[in-house]
Each structure stands twice: as structure tokens, then as C-alpha cells.
Structure 1
Amino acid sequence: MFHLSVRHRRRVLVADLISTAVFPLAITGSTAVIPAATADLSGPDALGPWIVVGYNGLFAAALLLAGVLADRTSRTKFFALGNIVVAVAGVLSAFAPDLGTLVALRILAGVGAAMCAAGGSAMVLAVYPPEDRHRVYGYVGAVLGTSLALGPFAAQGLMALGGWPMVFVVPAAVAGIAVLTSIGLPSLRTNNLPKEFDLAGAVLFGLTIAAAVTAFGFALPVWATIGLLAATAAGTALLVRVERRTADPAIPLDLLRIPTYRAYALGTGAFMGILVVGLTVLPQLGAHLGAGQVGLLLSLLTIPSTLLPLLAARIARRWAAPLVTLALIICAGTAFALQLTKSPLALFVGAAILGICLGLTEGVPDGQALKHVPYHRGGAGAALFSTTRMTVETLTLAAATGAATLLTPAAALIVPGAVCLAAAATLHHARDR
């Protein structure tokens, strides 16, 4: 571990927190600008959804490779370079002459976001010891929760002030601030690492995950979905062959063999799954409510994640596993209970319960799982954790969408409820081991 002064460690954390705030806004903002950008720019309307699909897909594809590279280079410079890519891509996105150019720039921004996420985690894990990580990820959870909760409102406000280009310019400015904050920090480079590393495995893993996330996470034409699923299967088979023949695999599978790391990764994916499904389903169940009441309903689901993560970090010092397990069980029970009634009171109470559970666990699984990651592999370990969470979230959303289509909107909540129960059982079993 790198032993820095308290001041420098805090600067590392602040730089990562500033950069972390950009990612949720980039997702919600890009989704909000699709109709306006498609109407304003020349190009096929079919390219509009790829403003988000390209960003998400390349983020997923580049994340593990970015983590491996962050661990092998100057972590600070790698983090700064990622934020520079995000800032430049954001500014250029505001001046894109057509939809094709805008999609290409969002793809570039997705690569930059992966570098930011991996570089920031590599920096933080390299300077904070395992016993402090629950507290650090309490701050990370607070920033992520706040950005997720306020992202849609911020995007709408920015569009009202300056049109859709402002949704890309403001996150670019925030990324620029993260770069400035990192100036003067130590390099944080690990020396004496082997020159060779598993580039093929990292690239294959990224492409396979990106194909799976894109296939399950977006409503693409049938032929595109089938093609992506075929690519996922082929990539998985080839990846197994490559990793079996590699002496030092890029994928830190030894971390997945740690029961609590695996359990917390599944748990945080379950929480994100019930959040994204709830954001989609609860307004449908409250279709008879007014616009203000729907806004209140969604606020009950999201606002606790801005207020409770720091309290959660304090609780997690002694009762992390019981807290996460209980929250998963309560989320599952609430999802199942909402199958029985559609009354407004039940919707508001259910949203409040889910919101409190999410707020009290924001950042807790991350801090507990990443205790097991050695400092010199922080980028790869955090990238694998994030990839697992993203995959669970995407598959949950896809299955919930299918349940809503085949049955009723309320039935979609059964899927994340079942995932939460499975995650709770996995975590309980991991604690016993």
C-alpha cells in the first residue's frame, strides 16, 4: 500500500468522488436527450438509442481492461487521462454535426468513463487500508446515490436552460474539475510488475460482457439480439480456452472464489435491479395518480440514497452483513407484497420501504467486498465487482421486462424480489463459511 499523508489521501478520495458524480448523470442525461437530439441532428432516427447503447456498451467492454491497465501504470495519470477523455468527448458532443458523430463521441465517452471508474478505484484502494474502506465507500455511495436521484431532474433542468447540448457540457466540466483536483498527487505506480499481461483475456472478457449487456439491456431488433447472444456464447467459449492457457489471467477469478466478495457483488446487483425495475414499474402502477404524486413516489424511492449512505457506513462497521441481508429480505418482501394491492397508500409505503433499504445499503456491499482486494490489484478487483453488478442488474431488468410483457406490470417486481432473496441466501451462506 502507498503511505500518503492524510491531506493527500483526502485529495485522492475527493478527486474520485467528483469523477464518480459524472457517471449517473451521463446515463440519465443521455437517455433524456435522445428525442431532442434525434429531432435536431441529421441522420437515421434508429441511431438515437445508440447514444446510450454505445456509451453503456463500451463502458462495459473497457472496464476490466482499464482496471488491469490502471494497476500497471501510474494510477493518478490514468485516472486524469480518463477524465480528460470524458471532458473532451462531452464538449465535442455538444457540437456534434449529426447523429452518427454524436454516437461515436458517446462511445469514446464510455471508454473514458471506464478509465475514470477503474483509475479512481485503483487510486483509492491503493492508499486506503482494508479497515477504512467501509467508510470510504460510504462517501462513494452518498455521491452515487445523490447523482442517481438528482440526475433526471438535473438533465431536465439543463435542457430547459440551454437545450440538450448542456447535458453533455456540464458533466464535461465536472470531469475537468476532477482532472484539476488530481494535479500534484503522487503517481501511485506499482513497480516490478511482469511486463507481459493477459491482453487477449481482458479484451475478450470486455467484448463478451458488452455483447451480453447490450443484448439483454436494450430493446433491439430481434436479429440484433440473436447476433449479440451468439457473440456472447462464442466469446465465453473462447475466453475459457484463452484463460486456461494463460499463466497470469487478467480476470481475477481468485476473488470470485471468496464467498463474501461473490455474495456482496450479487447483493449490490440485486439492489440496483430492484431500483431500476422500481423506477420503471411504480409509475405504471400509479397511472391513476397525478404528476406531482408520481414525482413524490419516485422521490421516496431515490431520495433516501442521498441522505442515508453515511449512516449506513457507520452501521456497517459492526453489522454490515446483517444489515445487507435484512435489507435484501425486506426488499423481496415488499416486491411480493405489492402484487396483492394497487392502492395509492400501498405504493407510497412500498416505495418508501424500498428507498430506505437502498439508502441504508448504498456503498456498503462495495466497501465490504473490496476489503478482500489487494492494493496492487485494486483496479482489476473493483472492475470485476462492477462488471458483476452490471450483469446482474441488466439480466434482472431484462427478465422483469419479459414478466411485465407476458403478465402484468406488477409481476415485473417478482423478478428483482427473487434475485434479492437469492442474494440474501448467498450472503448468509457466505457468512457461515
Structure 2
Amino acid sequence: MNKSVTSKGLLVVILLAIFVVPSSISGTAVALPAIGVDTHASLTTLQWVVNAFNLTFACFTLVWGALADAFGRKRCFILGAVLYSTGSLLSAMADSPLVLDLARALAGVGAAAIFSCGIALLSTHFDGAARMRAFAMFGTVAGLGVSLGPTLSGLVLDNFNWRAIFWWHTGALVLVLLGSPLIHRDKQRAPITFSHFDALGSLLFILALLALMIAIVQGSQWGWGSHGVRALIFSFVVLLAVFVWQEKRHRQPMLDLSLLANRRFVGMALVTVAASFGFVTLLTYLPSYLVSVLRLAPTEAGLTMLLLTLPMLVCPILAGRLVTHGVSPTGVLNTSLLCLLAGISSLAIASHPGMPLWQLAMPLLLVGVGMGLSAGLVDGMALKAVPEERAGMAAGLLNTFRLASEAIAVALYGSLLATLLGERLRGPLSTFAKNDDVLLNWINNVAAGNLDTPVLAVAAEKAELMRGMLIGGYDNAFHIVLWAIASILTALLALIAWLLIRPRKALVGVPQPF
């Protein structure tokens, strides 16, 4: 078969799988209120519909990267597609919140393989300008998934139900499996040595991140200073320390710690972390703000989210073309960080109850441009900074930075939002609630973006008073968290990333990389 045709076929198969993953993340966020009503899930259980996927996605990304280098990138990619399709099928058929959470966790394991191995396959199969185009298309397709996820989910919810979202994920991954023969076997691969695989290191890493995630999610329910949260944080620190010790002594470590000494690679990785806190938190929680505070219908909220996500369709290709025509890739990344910060700050200033939607256009477009300019480009630059034989591990580590920070950012955002709502609404709502259990249930409903349940529980003449109280409380809490996490923390991460990736002062007679 013609080499050009097979290369295009390989690209289509990988990009289809890549498309499903971000569309699943952004689309599920829009579906959460409907899932909560249908399954009668509590706030914590409902949060785990998103967090279980994010957690396993983050935990297993690094594991799959190491597995790909040892056992074959094509083999691991196909196995990931099988796991993802199985998890999606079980999600569509779930008859309880617990089953749904577990199914989403399984899908996250598969998604980790798809991203780690898919990026590594693109990196090793394409060279030169073709490689740049492939990564630009990767960023565009990922952006397309992010962009269409909320809109498609809103349309599906209005015409079918939340289960249909997971049915189409299943169908798309079946197509990927049918097209998998188009993927070439690895050009070079270490011998398969299961006995030498760093199983203990993998387990320690997973347990450490799991302890941190549970501590964050449960912080608003147990109390941030509770013994349970403190114990989980302590466990995270101990497990992380033991993990580092294990990686230093193992013959074939899951993580080659020397990658963390690569200044430029770490700087690129922190660009993805800044994007997680600045963009992904909005992708997850802005739909609830639009529905609960601005009173938009699900379809309207999904369409409004296009302002945030549409730049993801154009900017990755634009960034690739700019670099191809001689623009410094470091300059493009710096521009992306500035756009991200400008958009978040202007959104925090401009948004308020009753505002006209046109005021959201510029802030959301700026955030989208900031995310889009770095998507794909930062992956190619990061992998270019490491040896090719460590591409799988480097891709796994890069996506671990990206996905672990996304999981932590989303969980932290939701937990702090619930905490602030509890502090601000507990007193005012106590005059309406019969007891503390009812009060806590109302606060959790509001934190999940459902203001209707508390309002419908009071007398008709008090309904509007309560609704105004809830909208004001949610709006206030949303802005505090937006400033604290999305603005200030993103600015700090962007500064550190800039310091790491900026070119050092040139030495006389020594050429410097771009």
C-alpha cells in the first residue's frame, strides 16, 4: 500500500481516538445535572463521575508511557481503545451512580493509553514538516473534541438522554479498533520483559495521586482541617517520597527522573499545567454558572461555550504555520500564556447576574486563544527536547503533568466552591430549612449547579427571594474561586514556565536552540 495513504490512514485512526477523549470530558460536565436527577446521586458521588475519569486518566498516563516503550506503542494504544470502549459501554448501561463512577474510571484508564501512545506514535512515525503538521492536527482535533463536547451534549440532553453521550463514545472507539491495522508496528522497541517492569513504582504513583484527589474532593464535606484530610495529605507525601526512592533504585523505572532535570521539558510541561488551571476549570464549571446564574437552557449554555472552545479549531494550526514561517515557538507559547491570563482576568471582572451575553465574548475568546496556541505545539516542542528512545516515557510524563493538574484543578475548584457556598449560604438558608440535613442537601445541590431543588422546596411567595439569594451566593463564590485558582495560580505557573523555557544568554561561539 502507498506510504502516503497508510500515513494518512494512521493519522485518521489516531486522531479519531484523540477526538473522543476531550469531547467526553467537556460533554460529561454539561450532563452532570441530568445525571444527578436521574440517578439520585449525592454531590460527592456526582463529582466522582468527572473526577474518577480524570483521576485514572492522570494516574495511568505515566504508566502507559513506560509500558509503551517496553511492550510496544501500537499494542498499548489498541488495548487502551478496548478499555475505553468497554468503559463507555458500561457507562451507558449503568443502573447506579457507583457503577457509573467505576465505568468512568475504567474509561479513564483507556484514555490514558490513547493519549500517551497516540502522541508517541505520531512523534516517531512523522519527521520534519510532516511531524509539525501532525501535531498541529492533533491540537486541532483535540480542540474540536473540546469545542463540540458541550454543544453536542446539550443537544443530546434536549433530544435524548445522558446515556446517549456514552453510546456514541462506544461506537467511535469501535471504529478505531477496526482501523487499527493501519497503524505501523514500532520502529524500535525494547525486548518484552514483564519481570523487569516497575510495578511497585506504578502502584505507588497511583496510590499517591489517589490520596491527594480524595483529600481535595472530600475537603468540603469532611472539613479541610479534619483528621481524615490530614491523614490523606500525609499519605500522599509519604507515598510520593517512597515513589521517588523506588524510581532511583529500579533498573527500568517507570519514570526516568533525569527527565525532570531537563529544564526546557519541564517548562513545556508547566505550560500545560497553567492551561489546566486557567482553561479546563472554566470548561468544567462555566456551564453550571451559565445555567444557574445567567439562567440559560442547556442548549444555550452549550452554544455559549463555543466562544471558549472555537479558537481550539483554528489556533493550533495557526501556531504551527507561524512556527513553520520562522516565528519563534517560544514566542508563540508566551503569547498563549498572556492571552490566557488576560481572558481569565477580564472574565472575572465582567461576569455578573443579568449581564448581556455579548460581554462574555472577548474574555472567553481570549482564554480559548491562549489554550489553542499552545495545544499541540507544546507537545511537539517538549518531545523534541528528549531523546527519541524515551519518547513514550516523555509523552507519558508530559500528559501526567497535564492530566494530573487537570484532575487536581477540577477537584480543587469544585471543593472550594462547595466550601464557600456553605460558608455564605448556611446562615441565610437556615431560616428556610427544617433541619441541618435539609440545609446540607440544599447547599450540595447549589454546588452541583442545581438551584431549582431548593427553590421548589419553599413556599411560592418565598421562591423568588430564595432564588435571588442562591444566585448571589453562587456568583460570589464562583468569582472568589475564579480569582484564586484560575487567575492568581495560573499567573504564577505561567511565570515559572516562562523562566524555564526562555533561551539562556548565548555563550560566545556557542549556537543556541530556538
TM-score class, shorter-chain normalisation, is 0.7 to 0.9
Counterpart amino acid of 2:200?
A
TM-score (norm 1): 0.86
* Structure 1 segment 309-348 matched on structure 2, within 5 A: 309-317=316-324, 318=326, 319-336=328-345, 347-348=360-361
Out of 413, 417, 432, the residue aligned to residue 491 of structure 2 is 417
Size of the aligned set, in residue pairs, is: 430
String of CA shifts for 1:217-264, please: whole Å, max 9, x gaps: 676633664443233112112112212222332203222222221111
Q: Is 1:271 aligned with 2:264?
A: no
Percent identity, please: 26
Q: Supply the distance in 2 between the matched residues of 1:244 and 1:25 (Cα, whole angstroms).
A: 37
SS at match of 2:502: helix
2:6 pairs with one of 2, 5, 8:
8
Q: Contact conserved, 1:134 with 1:316, CA < 8 A, in 2?
A: no
- Look at both structures and tell me which one has the larger radius of gyration over its CA atoms: 2
Q: Deviations over 1:303-356 (max 9, x none)?
A: 111122212111123321111112213433454566666686765333333322
Contact 1:136 1:367 in 2 (8 A): no
- Confirm or deny: 8 A CA contact 1:65 1:206 kept in the other structure: no
Preserved contact between residue 25 and residue 155 of structure 1 (Cα < 8 Å): no
* Change beyond 3 A, Cα 1:118–1:218: farther
The answer to whether the aligner puts 1:232 opposite 2:236 as a matched pair is yes
CA separation of 1:56/1:335 partners in 2, compared to 1, >3 Å: closer, same or farther? closer
Counterpart in the other structure of 1:163 = 161
Alpha-carbon contact 1:328-1:421 (below 8 Å) kept? no
Any residues of structure 2 matched to 1:348-367 within 5 Å, and which? Answer: 348-367=361-380
Q: 310, 315, 326: which is aligned to 1:303?
A: 310
SS in 1 for 2:250: coil
User: Secondary structure in 1 aligned to 2:254?
Assistant: coil
C-alpha distance in 2 between matches for 1:163 and 1:290: 21
Query: Per the alignment, do residues 169 and 414 of structure 1 end up closer, same or farther by CA in structure 2, a change over 3 Å counting?
Result: same
AA paired with 1:320? P
Q: 1:87 to 1:335 in 2, by over 3 A?
A: closer
Q: CA deviation at 1:153?
A: 1.4
Whether the aligned pair in 2 keeps the contact of 1:260 and 1:369 (CA below 8 Å) is: yes
3-state SS of 1:237 partner: helix
In the alignment, structure 1 segments of 5+ residues that lack a partner are none
* Alpha carbons 2:340, 2:368 under 8 Å: kept: no
Distance in 2, matches of 1:38 and 1:400, equals 19
Aligned to 2:433: none
Give the whole-Å Cα distance in 2 for the aligned partners of 1:149 and 1:97: 29
Contact 2:123 2:380 in 1 (8 A): no
CA deviation after TM superposition for structure 1 residue 90, in Å: 1.5
* Amino acid corresponding to residue 105 of structure 1 in structure 2: A
Could you tell me how far apart the structure 1 residues matched to 2:340 and 2:27 are? 27
Contact residue 79 and residue 115 of structure 1 kept, 8 A = yes
CA distance, structure 1, for counterparts of residue 317 and residue 133 of structure 2: 8
How far apart are the structure 2 equivalents of 1:68 and 1:132?
A: 26
Residues 61-81 of structure 1, C-alpha deviations (whole Å, 9 max, x = no match):
222111111222232232122
In structure 2, do the counterparts of structure 1 residues 336 and 376 end up closer, same or farther at CA, with 3 Å as the change threshold? same
Aligned to 1:98: 96
Letter in 1 for 2:206: G
1:212 partner amino acid: L
Q: 2:124 aligns with which of 123, 126, 133?
A: 126
Deviations 1:372-412 (Å, cap 9, x if unpaired)?
A: 34443332211100111234445556676759948835633
Alignment of 1:10-409 (within 5 A): 10-41=8-39, 46-129=44-127, 132-188=130-186, 190-193=188-191, 195=193, 196-216=196-216, 221-222=221-222, 225-279=229-283, 280=285, 291=296, 298-317=305-324, 318=326, 319-336=328-345, 347-394=360-407, 402=416, 405=420, 408=480
Q: In 2, Cα distance between the equivalents of 1:92 and 1:399? A: 27
Supply the distance in 2 between the matched residues of 1:205 and 1:64 (Cα, whole angstroms).
Answer: 9
Q: Which range is displaced more, 288-297 or 53-62?
A: 288-297
- Relative to 1, partners in 2 of residues 1:355 and 1:259: Cα closer, same or farther, differing over 3 Å? same
CA contact (8 A) 1:71 1:122 kept: no
Q: What is the rounded CA distance, in whole Å, between the counterparts of 1:49 and 1:104 in structure 2?
A: 13
Is the contact made by 1:259 and 1:430 (CA closer than 8 Å) also made in structure 2? no
Gaps of 5+ in 2: 421-476, 507-511
Q: CA RMSD in A?
A: 3.4
Residues 180 and 133 (structure 1), Cα distance of their counterparts in 2 relative to 1, 3 Å cut: same
- Give the whole-Å Cα distance in 1 for the aligned partners of 2:32 and 2:288: 21
Q: Deviations over 1:137-186 (max 9, x none)?
A: 11111011111121111112223333121111101111111111112533
Q: Which amino acid aligns with 2:134?
A: V
Render the CA deviation track for 1:170-224: whole Å, top value 9, x for unaligned: 0111111111111253332744537323222233223323433454467663366
Q: Give distance in 2, aligned partners of 1:389 and 1:27.
A: 14
d(CA) in 1 for partners of 2:290, 2:24: 27
Distance 1:45 1:325, change over 3 A: closer
The residue matched to 2:116 in structure 1 has which SS? Answer: helix
Q: How many angstroms apart in 2 are the aligned matches of 1:337 and 1:40?
A: 36
TM-score when normalising by structure 2: 0.73
